[in-house]
């Protein structure tokens, strides 16, 4: 493939991936599987690096970059003001009367939009290209978080359609409720502190210094305002929202144009109930004068515009009594305290249990058995105890103490350094076994249809299954005696287990349930170590050379495979035909056949994973340490001891340009 052919292929891949992104994130209608998407992205990345066809707007540039030491401060050319709030109809009518008095007529309309409970952000586009993303800060100046903003896939790096040369967008970054709950559950399992609500999780994430971490968190965005310096005062809010959609930004479909304040009241009343069915948090309705020409007349206070107001919903809370504090054992042995409540109606459901997160959270709020507590749904889906109602009551129960042993199996509980969670030390603790099996069979892992919680409970209770390999020993006749498991269902389950043996290597790695190894990390491990033998032999230093892996993950992986029981389990799974080897593309050439490489330092354009992939595509081999058998050391900036050792041994040291010459 020559340079011209590569350029044409790269553009084709970018168009195809961008189209897939639009379908997935804008229309919620995926065009391809995750595996196919990742394959196209890897192909594009390889061609860009090989033929030096980089572009800041490429889909490959949306995964973040190196951490920065600090966020620069940027001035907002137009202040990012907050909104005045109201909680009742009388105050809303007062707002309407003020608007009428200032304008001197009633020839205006109101646009109502949902008020998102997230983090306000500012975007700047110049000639269609995203050049800045910033926080609201104090309204006059904020933090430049462009590197983090670029990882949010709802935000286009390049605008589509007709648009002004320069424009600014105001929007709200947020997390959907289900994604937030999944992220919090994962953090709790890992012994990490959990976020109180989606808003805090979003704000905390966007202020992280490492964009690659931001890219892995489920942040989305709605745009709600458009600023264009063209002196067009005839534009309306409705037209601006339509224009935002046309140029490729997401806007909320739940907006209504109202002829008067009476219609606004009806909209608010309807959303007080409907909002509970949304996939994200909203804490009210924003009411704006639709006509932009009137906004300058209405003006603003020091903090808020006079042409807009937010009518906020009251947080739905209820008082209940804690009957008991139960302890749940998770997949990794994490002990999670849960409040057993007297049943109470909350947000349309009957709540009987509420998470207490961990022992530190219980002590911080001083929650005790028998307390009357205020309960609310964090993000409308996760019941949690907010506070104790009468904390000074002299008849309260004793302060909570975490037991020294597991409530299910009696094993000793431990708290690891740097964690807030206690853990059960017995890997065979029944709740842990059940949770591991459910994780193994989940859709993102082995995707075994029919192996849900109820079936797993019975398999463990009847001692039919205690380890992953036990699943592959099952026969239909073992299952027919289980509750609600007829002969046909048993055969279907066995067939589903058999089909799972064809799942790709990265899915199997994720299914093993290694601590801190999520879907993305499992895929990166599979790419970096194409066989399970290579992965099990890798030391922590080699593991840390993989882009998404730091010392914590590397230590966890190493600890998992240092356990003889885990290594034995992997050997058994291999014997049952599970795939512990990556599907490799045919080598592009044998230019580097028989040659051994060691990578060190930071290369100008290639990541280590990409360099390793290129070496292998051309027939070479990458090892982790320098020895007399090493042919080349590919070195970048800040090369360390491997560079020095290569010099002592007289091994040839090459830089990235020299490497490209070799494979071209």
For the stretch 375-410, pLDDT in tens is 987 544 568 888 898 888 888 999 999 999 999 999
Q: With contact defined as beta carbons under 8 Å apart, do 423 and 335 qualify?
A: yes
Helix intervals (H) in 500-655: 505-511, 519-528, 532-537, 540-544, 551-562, 564-575, 608-617, 641-649
Across residues 157-177, what is the average pLDDT? Answer: 92
Determine what percent of the chain is predicted with pLDDT higher than 70: 93
- Decide if 425 is inside a domain: no
Across residues 484-500, what is the average pLDDT? Answer: 93
Same domain, 473 and 568: no
Same domain, 564 and 657: no
Same domain, 131 and 79: yes
Known catalytic membership, residue 115 = yes
Same domain, 171 and 281: yes
Alpha carbons 560 and 284: distance in angstroms, whole number:
47
- Decide if 261 is inside a domain: yes
The pLDDT of residue 586: 61
Centroid of chain to Cα 501: 28
Q: List the domain range (segments joined by +) for residue 381.
A: 317-403
The pLDDT of residue 66: 42
- Comparing 549 with 240, which gets the higher pLDDT? 240
- Comparing 26 with 619, which gets the higher pLDDT? 619
Which of 502, 526, 546 is where one domain is finished?
Answer: 502
Decide the pairing of beta strands 596-600 and 317-329: unpaired
Query: What is the torsional sign of CA 321, 324, 330, 336?
Result: positive
The pLDDT of residue 393: 85
The pLDDT of residue 584: 62
Whether pLDDT at 34 is above 70? no
Identify the band that residue 348 occupies on the pLDDT scale cut at 50, 70 and 90.
low
Number of domains in the chain: 6
Same domain, 398 and 292: no
First-to-last C-alpha distance (Å) of the chain:
10
- Decide if 585 is inside a domain: no
Alpha carbons 624 and 545: distance in angstroms, whole number:
9
- Decide if 463 is inside a domain: yes
Q: With contact defined as beta carbons under 8 Å apart, do 543 and 583 qualify?
A: no
Q: What are the Cα distances from residue 161, in Å, to 123, 234, 518?
A: 18, 21, 38
Which of 483, 502, 521 is where one domain is finished?
Answer: 502
Same domain, 229 and 213: yes
Same domain, 272 and 332: no
Nearest to 240 by CA among 86, 326, 345, 113: 113
Q: Over the stretch 273-298, which tens digit does the pLDDT of each residue have?
A: 788 788 888 888 999 999 999 998 99
With both helix axes pointing from N to C terminus, report the angle between 34-50 and 608-617 in degrees, rounded to the nearest 10.
80
Same domain, 460 and 488: yes
Same domain, 602 and 651: yes
* Set 7, 66, 115, 645: catalytic member: 115
Q: What are the Cα distances from residue 340, in Å, to 374, 396, 404, 477?
A: 13, 17, 21, 39
């Amino acid at each position: 493939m020559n340079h011209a052919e590569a350029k044409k292929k790269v553009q084709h891949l970018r168009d195809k991936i961008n189209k897939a992104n639009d379908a997935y994130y804008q229309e919620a209608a995926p065009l391809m599987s995750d595996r196919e998407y990742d394959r196209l992205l890897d192909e594009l990345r390889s061609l860009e690096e090989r033929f030096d066809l980089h572009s800041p707007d490429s889909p490959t540039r949306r995964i973040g970059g190196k951490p920065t030491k600090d966020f620069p401060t940027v001035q907002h050319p137009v202040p990012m003001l907050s909104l005045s709030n109201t909680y009742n109809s009388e105050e809303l009518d007062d707002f309407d009367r003020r608007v009428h008095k200032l304008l001197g007529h009633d020839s205006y309309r109101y646009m109502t939009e949902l008020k998102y409970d997230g983090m306000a952000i500012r975007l700047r586009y110049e000639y269609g290209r995203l050049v800045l993303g910033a926080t609201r800060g104090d309204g006059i100046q904020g933090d430049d978080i462009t590197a983090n903003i670029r990882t949010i896939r709802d935000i286009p790096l390049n605008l589509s359609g007709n648009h002004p040369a320069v424009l600014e967008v105001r929007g709200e970054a947020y997390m959907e409720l289900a994604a937030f709950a999944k992220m919090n559950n994962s953090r709790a399992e890992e012994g990490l502190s959990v976020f109180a609500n989606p808003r805090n999780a979003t704000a905390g994430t966007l202020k992280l210094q490492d964009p690659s971490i931001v890219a892995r968190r489920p942040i989305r965005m709605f745009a709600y305002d458009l600023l264009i310096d063209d002196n067009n005062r005839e534009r309306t809010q409705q037209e601006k929202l339509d224009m935002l959609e046309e140029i490729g930004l997401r806007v909320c479909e739940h907006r209504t144009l109202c002829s008067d304040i009476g219609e606004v009241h009806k909209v608010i009343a309807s959303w007080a109930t409907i909002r509970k069915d949304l996939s994200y948090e909203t804490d009210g309705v924003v009411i704006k004068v639709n006509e932009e020409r009137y906004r300058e007349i209405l003006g603003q206070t020091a903090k808020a515009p006079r042409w807009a107001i937010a009518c906020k919903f009251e947080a739905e809370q209820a008082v209940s009594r804690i009957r008991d504090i139960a302890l749940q054992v998770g997949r990794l042995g994490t002990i999670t305290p849960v409040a057993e409540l007297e049943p109470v109606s909350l947000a349309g459901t009957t709540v009987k249990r509420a998470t207490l997160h961990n022992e530190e959270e219980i002590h911080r709020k001083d929650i005790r058995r028998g307390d009357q507590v205020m309960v609310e749904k964090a993000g409308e889906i996760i019941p949690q105890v907010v506070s104790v109602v009468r904390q000074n009551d002299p008849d309260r129960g004793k302060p909570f103490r975490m037991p020294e042993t597991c409530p299910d199996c009696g094993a000793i509980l431990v708290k690891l350094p740097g964690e807030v969670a206690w853990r059960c030390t017995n890997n065979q603790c029944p709740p842990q076994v059940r949770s591991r099996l459910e994780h193994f069979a989940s859709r993102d892992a082995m995707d075994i249809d029919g192996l849900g919680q109820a079936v797993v409970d019975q398999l463990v209770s009847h001692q039919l299954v205690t380890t992953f390999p036990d699943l592959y020993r099952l026969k239909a006749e073992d299952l027919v005696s289980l509750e609600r498991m007829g002969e046909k269902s048993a055969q279907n389950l066995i067939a589903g287990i058999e089909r799972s043996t064809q799942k790709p290597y990265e899915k199997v790695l994720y299914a093993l349930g290694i601590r801190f190894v999520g879907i993305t990390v499992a895929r990166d491990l599979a790419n970096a170590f194409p066989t399970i033998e290579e992965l099990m032999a890798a030391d922590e230093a080699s593991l840390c050379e993989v882009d998404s892996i730091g010392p914590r993950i590397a230590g966890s992986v190493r600890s998992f495979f240092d356990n003889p029981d885990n290594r034995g389990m992997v050997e058994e799974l291999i014997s049952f035909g599970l795939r512990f080897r990556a599907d490799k593309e045919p080598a592009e050439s044998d230019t580097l056949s028989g040659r051994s490489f060691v990578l060190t330092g930071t290369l100008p354009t290639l990541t280590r994973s990409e360099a390793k992939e290129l070496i292998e595509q051309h027939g070479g081999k990458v090892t982790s340490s320098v020895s007399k058998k090493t042919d080349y050391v590919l070195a970048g900036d800040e090369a360390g001891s491997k560079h020095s050792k290569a010099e002592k041994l007289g091994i040839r040291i090459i830089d990235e340009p020299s490497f490209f010459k070799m494979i071209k």
